[in-house]
Structure 1
Amino acid sequence: MKCFVAVLIIVTLATDAVSEASVRTCEPIKVAMCKNIGYNQTGMPNLARHTLQADADVTLQTFSPLVQYGCSSQLDLFLCTVYVPMCTDKVALPIGPCRGLCESVYERCYPVLSEFGFQWPAELDCSLFPAENNHEHMCMEGPGERTAPVGTVTLDSVNAGGRSACRRLIKPNSWVWVRGSSRCAQFCEAEVLWESGERRAAEVWLATWAALSFACTLAAVGAQLACGDRGSAGERALVLVALCRCAAAAGWGVRAAAGRTAAGCAKDSTTPTRMLLAHDGLANPNCAVVFLLLYYFGLAASVWWVVVAGAWRASVLRPSVTTSGTGTRNDRHSSLLQLAAWGVPAALAAAVLVTRDVDADELTGTCFVGNQSSKSLLALVIVPEAICLLLGTVFLATGLRAILRRPVPVPAPTALLTSPPQQITDQTLLRLGAFAALYAVPSTCILATWVYEYAWREDWLAAPVPTEIPSTQPRPAFWVFLFRIFASQILGVMVAVWIATPRLKALWRKIAGPRKPPLTKCPAGPPPTPLTLHCYATHSHSLSRSQMHKYATYRPPQQHSYRKPRHYHYSAGETIL
């Protein structure tokens, strides 16, 4: 009886195969996902019992997030061999995947599905496929998984491993592989390097200093416009530095007003249920606006500071140039300075937007460039700022050297008439140079924090290697990033204080009017009577003025003097001329 049942099953399967082969015809592949898979002919029904390619295409669309996730480099081939199998006239049955191909894809992609609460589909069960490709059962084995060599995976490297690259990072469940940008993106709410308390403290710190910087720079620029004093080339460039710092502070304000999620996070097709930390700022308008305000105006402020230092150096090296000559020279080079100060930051910002390197940092959720890419941080942030700092320092050093070597001028008798204007010019020049030197100190500190982040970021994000001796995972210093926020905002406060102090005084004098001289109080009672001197003589003849002056001085008494002694009496009633 058992033998009869077995024979009946074999005959039934053979009949189904013959009938299926009789109705199977090969046709060109119409599914877009499988057109460049390695073969161009398929036949229906497929291994999932779909009779139309349109039905197979609808089913394949449900695997699109998993394909974009990049969990396996053979996932495309495996799905196509199941739903759009290879067809040839020489073989009656469809040529699907081998069991080894299925198990390779299952090992890499099933943890991703289970992480999001999905089960492995029943029609993709690896036990349904042939164990190996031979003359009895033809199947497709696949080219094998393509992975990068060990030790070459970084945060922003492009590799075919996808999910394996994210597994090499700290807290791998907080990352997802984004195939479009070829990098591991962090979930927006994930705590990888910073805890929630540190994030809140940094956001309060950022909002406070940004508001102070914006208010100070806005007041300084308003005072300058109200006074209407153009000043020298260095002073005009300094006002533009304040304007750029005001716009950059407005960028921090946009970030604080929009909130962390709205400004620093974005949706992604691979994870429709969760938000990712922005790694392509163009997908989030708020992120793009914050980036433009911070990066463009921040770099423009650094370039204008170089102009300030250069103008101070020119004034020191050519102190004898007249005011009209200086103005003509500055006007002649004004267009070049404007082009350099506004054009260079614009070109770099356009390069960032074209390469789509705008990304958000985990601590504050602020969009900038280089927050997730070390190469972008070096090329687009560290190098431009270092060049500006180097040029400004060279200008300051050469100007200081010229001052130290200048001989001390000997004041001429006629210098008293021109000393007040010259003194005012020297004082303004000294204040301008002092400010340019002080401005370089916070700029140097900010550059040092960027270099610190560039040097240690890979160590912070690398997953710890299991060893016999437990080691401590390196973490970034929280105070360094807080200091960066403080230094970037204190630059605006410094330039505002320098500009606003003399301008506010001039504005107050204009509003209050000219100062009146102080009135002295007269003493009470009658005015004092001047002291007078009376001179009496006993002889009848008069004396000349010279003789009176002669006897007004003391002389020793002589024995033979024909004049009688004179008597001098002081009274308050008369005055001697």
Structure 2
Amino acid sequence: DNKASFLIMCLLKYLVVEAIPMESAAGSHSMFTCEPITLRMCQGLPYNSTFMPNLLNHYDQQTAALAMEPFHPMVNLQCSSELRMFLCALYTPVCTEYGRMTLPCRRLCLRAKGDCYKLMDMFGVTWPEEMDCNRFPDCDEPYPRPVDLLSRSDSTESPISVQRDYGFWCPRELKIDPDLGYTFLGVRDCSPPCPNMYFQRDELVFARYFIGVVSIVCLSATLFTFLTFLIDVSRFRYPERPIIFYAVCYMMVSLVFFLGFLLEDRVACNAASPGRFRASTVTQGSHNKVCTLLFMVLYFFTMAGSVWWVILTITWFLAAVPKWGSEAIEKKALLFHAFAWGLPGCLTVTLLAMNKIEGDSVSGVCFVGLYDRTALRWFLLVPLGLDVLVGVALLLAGILALNRVRMEIPLEKENQDKLVKFMIRIGVFSVLYLVPLLTVIACYLYENSYRTVWETTWVQERCREYHIPCPYQVEQTSRPNLSLFIIKYLMMLVVGIPSVFWVGSKKTCFEWASFFHGHRRKE
């Protein structure tokens, strides 16, 4: 066979004349047999069998595949028509019928390196010393190349321009099964790394414990408010009754955050798969049942809490302006409940249908708008912003009406003092609610404005590590400050604590004392 003889002659010339120090690798092949090529990159070549170890002493194809990974972007971008053939000839050498190995020719190496060196520099990939073109024989290609690789431009320039931004490429470590429908930075079947892509492990531990402590405080305050209501239900009538439902909502919110503290990364993150080259990634969508449940409870009661505050301002407005009594307002209770629970329910179901659930590796829970800015704007900023506008308008109208009553209508000193105290309680409660809520909205607005810069900075810092295209001409770089996220979570929980100030009075102390005294007498 002339072809086989030619291969052997090239090999002998390479080993004897060029004196390339690969004798150990060459000699080790004498006892090996051919095996089918399993590497995806090297499918469809003129040969379909190889043998291991190869010239670089990779003893199996899986090890060779790992070594080839840094060159995948260059192959995909087709910077050279010779690169794929050269890499496969080196990492999965052709296996002849005699069990002898062949080497890629020097000309093939020089073409591949010359065409791709600019793009390799952009990706942070260096040409390995063991791939020095001078180490390969000066001969023609010892095997036919595929037709699609024969076509070559007459221009001396690279087939593609490297002076442009190629966008985000999903690293192999962050790739997810297509059936899950994950998305990261606009790329499908990709997910952010876990733990958080912006912060170090010690920062995340501090944030996790901080959130856990604040959630316990909020849970205690709201639970006390709800239990006080259960002791004497008749005490809290409309227009005050919405405060109880408001407290229940934030009791559930703080409970979810406390569960996130206990669960750590077990729900918000997908476990790593070392055998499949996958790192731990952020959970997305509704395939994780625990993550879905935490999201539903957290989002539903967060939205419901803000709606109950609006309803509280409505009841105060009805009591102050048209002078409705408790019985008249209570007749609208069914409408209040339908609105307070129905609207958050519709939003929650919509997000489930859109598969917008995302794991939060900072708090350990699952929420929305953590990586998807569109969901952040329409399902957090817009509803919370409308609640603030409507609530503040009604609140101011009610306070002005009460003040007008105090100034224009003569009242007994006792009734005058009661009205002043009521107005002060309304004002204090509103400030204690609005300041945290407005802070949360400000944090969301800041995230929405700077998240693109944070993501670009992260890609620029990690592109060489992940072997993906680096951003071209980055105008601005910035990293998020952990204090921003800590303030956001603090205010999301503190907003539930004002309810305890409304029930905090001497009457509440007497009720609890009577409750415990009566319980002891029954025993």
- TM-score for the superposition, normalised by structure 2: 0.62
Whether the 8 Å contact between 1:396 and 1:437 is mirrored in structure 2 is: no
- TM superposition shift of 1:232: 3.2
Judge conservation of contact 1:194–1:362 (CA < 8 Å) in 2: no
* Structure-to-structure mapping, 1:337-356, within 5 angstroms: 337-356=336-355
Q: Which of residues 254, 267, 270 is equivalent to 1:266? A: 270
Deviations 1:239-272, CA, capped at 9 Å, x for gaps = 001000000011011111112x212211477974
Q: Does 1:496 align with 2:513?
A: no
Q: Which amino acid aligns with 2:148?
A: M
- Find the aligned partners of 2:193 and 2:515 in 1 and give their Cα distance: 56
The superposition leaves residues 413-464 of structure 1 with CA deviations (integer Å, 9 ceiling, x where unpaired) of xx76xx8678657744652454234311110011111111111122223235
316 and 150 in structure 1: CA distance in 2 versus 1, 3 angstrom threshold: farther
**Does structure 1 residue 233 correspond to structure 2 residue 238?**
yes
The answer to whether the 8 A contact 1:221-1:239 is kept is yes
Q: Note closer, same or farther for the CA distance 1:478–1:131 as it changes in structure 2 (3 Å cut).
A: farther
User: SS state of the match for residue 194, structure 2?
Assistant: coil
Determine helix, strand or coil for the equivalent of 2:496.
Answer: helix
Of the three residues 311, 317, 324, the one matched with 1:307 is: 311
Mapped contact 2:307–2:387 kept (Cα < 8 A) = yes
| Equivalent residue, structure 1, for 2:381 | 382
Assess if the C-alpha contact under 8 Å between 2:231 and 2:515 holds in 1: no
Q: Deviations 1:170-209 (Å, cap 9, x if unpaired)?
A: xxxxx7344732426333247x422222212111211111
How many pairs does the alignment contain? 410
Q: Which residue of 2 aligns with 1:394?
A: 393
CA distance in 2, matches of 1:205, 1:278: 21
Contact kept in structure 1, 2:174 and 2:281, CA below 8 Å: no
- Residue 200 (structure 2) pairs with residue 200 (structure 1): no
Cα separation, partners in 2 of 1:258 and 1:108, compared to 1, 3 Å: farther
What is the CA deviation profile of residues 351-404 of structure 1, one whole-angstrom value per residue up to 9, with x for unaligned ones? 222222222334334322122222222222212211111111111122233344
Q: Does the aligned pair in 2 maintain the 1:268–1:276 contact within 8 Å?
A: yes
Instruction: Check conservation: 1:221, 1:242, Cα contact below 8 A.
Output: yes
The letter for the 1-side match of 2:434 is A
Residue 462 of structure 1: aligned partner = 456
Aligned pairs for 1:80-479 within 5 A: 139-141=147-149, 150=164, 153=167, 161-163=169-171, 176-178=174-176, 180=178, 181-183=182-184, 185-189=191-195, 192-229=197-234, 231-259=236-264, 261-267=265-271, 272=276, 274-319=278-323, 321-328=324-331, 330-331=332-333, 334-335=334-335, 337-406=336-405, 408-411=407-410, 424=418, 427-428=421-422, 431-463=425-457, 473-479=477-483
The amino acid across from 1:301 in the alignment is G
One-letter amino acid of the counterpart of residue 367, structure 2:
F
Q: CA deviation at 1:145?
A: 11
Q: Residue by residue, what CA displacement relative to the aligned partner does 1:75-132 show, whole Å, maximum 9, x if unpaired?
A: 9xx99xx9xxxxxxxxxxxxxxxx99x9999x999x99x9xxxxx9xxxxxx9x9899
| One-letter amino acid of the counterpart of residue 176, structure 1 | L
Could you say if the C-alpha distance between residues 71 and 219 of structure 1 is closer, same or farther in structure 2, counting changes exceeding 3 Å?
Answer: farther
Amino acid of the structure 2 residue aligned with 1:228: V
Q: In 1, Cα distance between the equivalents of 2:386 and 2:393?
A: 11
Aligned to 1:547: none
| One-letter amino acid of the structure 1 residue matched with residue 337 of structure 2 | Q
Identical counterparts, % of pairs: 18
Identify the residue that residue 93 of structure 2 maps to in structure 1: none
Q: Deviations over 1:36-74 (max 9, x none)?
A: xxxxxx99x984159xxxxxxxx99x99xx99xx96896
CA gap 1:267/1:324 in 2 versus in 1, 3 angstroms: closer
Matches within 5 A, 1:549-564: none
Counterpart of 2:233 in structure 1: which amino acid? Answer: G
- CA–CA distance in structure 2, aligned partners of residues 306 and 317 of structure 1: 16
Other-structure match for 1:534: none
Shift of the 280–323 alpha-carbon distance from structure 1 to 2, 3 Å rule, reads closer
Tell me the SS of whatever aligns to 1:370: coil
Paired with 1:275 and 1:281, the residues of 2 have a C-alpha distance of 18
The code of the aligned residue for 1:225 comes to L
What residue identity is the alignment partner of 1:398? A
Q: Distance in 1 between matches of 2:371 and 2:275?
A: 19
- Partner-residue secondary structure (3-state), 2:478: coil
> 1:291 Cα shift?
1.9
Structure showing greater relative contact order (alpha-carbon pairs closer than 8 Å, 6 or more residues apart): 2
Q: Which residue of 2 aligns with 1:26?
A: none
The structure having more radius of gyration, on CA atoms, is 1
- The TM-score, its normalising length taken from structure 1, stands at 0.57
Partner of 2:54: none
Mapped partners of 1:7, 1:472: distance in 2 = 58
Q: Which secondary structure does the structure 2 equivalent of 1:462 belong to?
A: helix
Question: For the Cα contact (< 8 Å) 2:222–2:251, is it kept in 1?
Answer: yes
